[in-house]
Structure 1
């Protein structure tokens, strides 16, 4: 795998992924984090275009025998599949695997032209085309962490110090459920799934994959590419209002109290979604901002006022106490068989 082009690590965050999608010109969809893959959760998000799954990369899975894996389709012109040809690109490739296989998503001019241009390419050349796309690379790298001390794209020791994580996608294509992993030779076909039945089919597949890891491994993340939630809520409000008007016309102005309640609930959902988007946009701006100059000026001012030494000593004392407390909690948790390791998850 090549490092040419310097692609940064991408944080596993729905706000980042939604911003990336919008940055490459796609409209009408967003990314939602999923904490459960039960039917009720997935039904509430419909229509779901695909799932993005993040897991700890272990190379070849020793627990997965050839017979336990879905078959690879080496030649299927109906499925857009690109091999990952560059380090750190798996997050964007997982997103593209869903976007470029959906018949209903508005891809925008740039991505539509890209899909048309590479449609007849083999998987390897599709991967190279993604790597060489100025637009896709620029939008991807716009979410690079601001770190003036270590350049994560060039530090040769960065990945030796941390576990590696990898993104793949699950999405339906022509009535079959596909697993799209750029590190494989082709898409894996998990079998027929007419309509929305793929959502029921994909849950056990992901659960089985998670079960292959040791019992203490909890570092997984699952996100869904779904329709713009505000538009979904607004369309439901419009439909309920039409029903309410018809009902009140036939039965009187006091009819349809349940419809009024549903409309009020949906309007609250719209407000919450707007607030969430504002928060995500702010967080994305903060990710790009370099706070070192501000921190330097604050520390300089404290030093000039003679307060820095005292604050440093106090900080060290607090850090030592917190570290000791954390060790005690971890020891107690491990003794109870529930040790949990926190991790910020980034792609491979």
Structure 2
């Protein structure tokens, strides 16, 4: 059957288009338009006749060029931006919270990230970085927290536990974390101080606090003592939140961090939040298809996660404290006079043997008493008290020369709070360590003798000041070698320095002089 022409006047079907009339035919068949009376009407009529006609017989708009359209769009965008800056935007849903403001990203982000540290910049970072399982670094963190007369010591074999300096306040076990559903939580004792880990990368500090807060005879600084008192009645999650929101604890934890470490920690936390949101959306969508019999399969994590847990004696019981667990795990009791580490040893051996076949890494540290630091701190406190007794006795004498800090740069007194922290001392420690000491009593009896004149007092003061200088030097040497004679103190000081800005500046100078381009071209030729 021959097809009908597109221009035949056949009756249209339902939904079909009406017959199309060519534009030339439409103009030819259009009735004659009466002559307009005015010149304006003549121009309008001429424009309608010359303009192209649509299929619906309506006149098309004049076509603009691409340049004119681009310019028009640019003007519209500028007008919209200007209007949005002056007007206050309204939200569709007033109950919904407004979106947060965009971060003020610096213009030169790379130079800012690799530049030198600003003053108090470390305290502005909310991120927690990973802490290396190295006694050198953790000992410095303990000092910044205010823990005194204690040190972290690495244990290479379980036989070394028996020869640790007494007392041992706790053990820290570091291992590659694997979720174990077979671990049973036990009812925690009311005497156990336990805090949960509520933020990423804080497990090392949480493990330290779970030991420090349970050590009854450990000397604590003023901030730590106040923290222990304020957190005593809190639940474990609230204690962990209180710990993670304490800026001075976070600053001590991040004391060896570089800015890139903090940026990576912040990025990892942001990615974790995004993954959590995706997981919640996937869970919500899976609930709508709960009648399905299959389960979602999760991808194994590519990165290896390390985790710190603590073994602590509390009273006559031994506890395993994990910040990610719901409660501490009871290990066993030990007899008076028995070393509590003997109770924890079988648990540690079983965990090490379980990971031995799988090739996982682990490490064991011990928090024990530091007798060298304790002895030096005591000698320094007694020396300061002796100088103060001598000054109080002779300061009113007109012939007595006053001490000048410029002449005696090592001079330390109870009021030298800014410098006492370098020697792990506070004003209260000076009084506590020197009370009823035989050395201080002998000094007091010597200066109270009737034949003790000003010449003897000046000679004794000079001798006491020289002794204080020697004590300070002993402490500095102890910090320099890290307490074990291995030069670890110098490594700790070097670990606090961030060499990234210097390396970045050096590479930029090489690039400015064309050295990097030359090296690149030489590498391409090889």
TM-score norm. by structure 2 comes to 0.46
Aligned CA distance change for structure 1 residues 164 and 272 (closer, same or farther; 3 Å)? same
Q: How does 1:178-327 map to 2 (within 5 A)?
A: 178-194=319-335, 195-213=337-355, 215-231=357-373, 275-277=481-483, 279-300=487-508, 302=510, 308=516
1:262 corresponds to: none
Pair 1:23-2:136 in alignment: no
1:170 corresponds to: 311
In structure 1, runs of 5+ residues without a counterpart are: 236-269, 317-348
Helix, strand or coil for the counterpart of 1:126?
Answer: helix
Moved more, 123-132 or 173-182: 123-132
Are 1:146 and 1:289, in contact at CA under 8 Å, matched by a contact in 2? no
Pair 1:46-2:166 in alignment: yes
Are 2:196 and 2:239, in contact at CA under 8 Å, matched by a contact in 1? yes
Moved more, 43-52 or 174-183: 43-52
Q: How does 1:150-165 map to 2 (within 5 A)?
A: 150-155=263-268, 156=270, 161-165=302-306
Q: Distance in 1 between matches of 2:172 and 2:322?
A: 10
Helix, strand or coil for the counterpart of 2:260?
Answer: coil
Aligned CA distance change for structure 1 residues 23 and 315 (closer, same or farther; 3 Å)? farther
Are 2:127 and 2:262, in contact at CA under 8 Å, matched by a contact in 1? no
How many positions carry a matched residue from both structures?
A: 272
In structure 2, runs of 5+ residues without a counterpart are: 1-124, 276-300, 378-475
Aligned equivalent of 2:236, options 110, 123, 130: 123
Are 1:144 and 1:288, in contact at CA under 8 Å, matched by a contact in 2? yes
1:57 corresponds to: 177
Helix, strand or coil for the counterpart of 1:147?
Answer: helix
| Cα distance, 1:22 vs structure 2 | 0.9
| Cα distance, 1:310 vs structure 2 | 7.4
Q: Distance in 1 between matches of 2:520 and 2:134?
A: 33
Q: Distance in 2 between matches of 1:280 and 1:146?
A: 23
Aligned CA distance change for structure 1 residues 314 and 120 (closer, same or farther; 3 Å)? farther
Cα distance per residue 1:6-28 (max 9 Å; x no partner): 22221111112111111111111
1:328 corresponds to: none
Q: Distance in 1 between matches of 2:359 and 2:371?
A: 32
Q: How does 1:62-81 map to 2 (within 5 A)?
A: 65=182, 72-74=186-188, 76-81=189-194
| Cα distance, 1:208 vs structure 2 | 0.5
| Cα distance, 1:124 vs structure 2 | 1.7
| Cα distance, 1:307 vs structure 2 | 5.7
Are 1:47 and 1:226, in contact at CA under 8 Å, matched by a contact in 2? yes
Helix, strand or coil for the counterpart of 1:87?
Answer: coil
Are 1:31 and 1:223, in contact at CA under 8 Å, matched by a contact in 2? yes
Cα distance per residue 1:150-185 (max 9 Å; x no partner): 522333459965210110100111011111111111
Cα distance per residue 1:266-321 (max 9 Å; x no partner): xxxx97885235944443443343323322343455567776567679999xxxxx
Cα distance per residue 1:32-88 (max 9 Å; x no partner): 1111111x5432433211111101111225xxx45xx5x5124x2211011112221
Aligned CA distance change for structure 1 residues 43 and 87 (closer, same or farther; 3 Å)? same
1:141 corresponds to: 254
Q: Rg: which structure is higher?
A: 2
Are 1:145 and 1:287, in contact at CA under 8 Å, matched by a contact in 2? no
Which one has more relative contact order, counting CA pairs under 8 Å at least 6 apart?
Answer: 1
1:35 corresponds to: 156
Are 2:481 and 2:490, in contact at CA under 8 Å, matched by a contact in 1? no
Q: Distance in 1 between matches of 2:319 and 2:490?
A: 35
Are 1:51 and 1:171, in contact at CA under 8 Å, matched by a contact in 2? yes
Q: Distance in 2 between matches of 1:150 and 1:117?
A: 32
Pair 1:88-2:201 in alignment: yes
Aligned CA distance change for structure 1 residues 293 and 218 (closer, same or farther; 3 Å)? same
Helix, strand or coil for the counterpart of 1:96?
Answer: helix
2:109 corresponds to: none
RMSD: 3.4
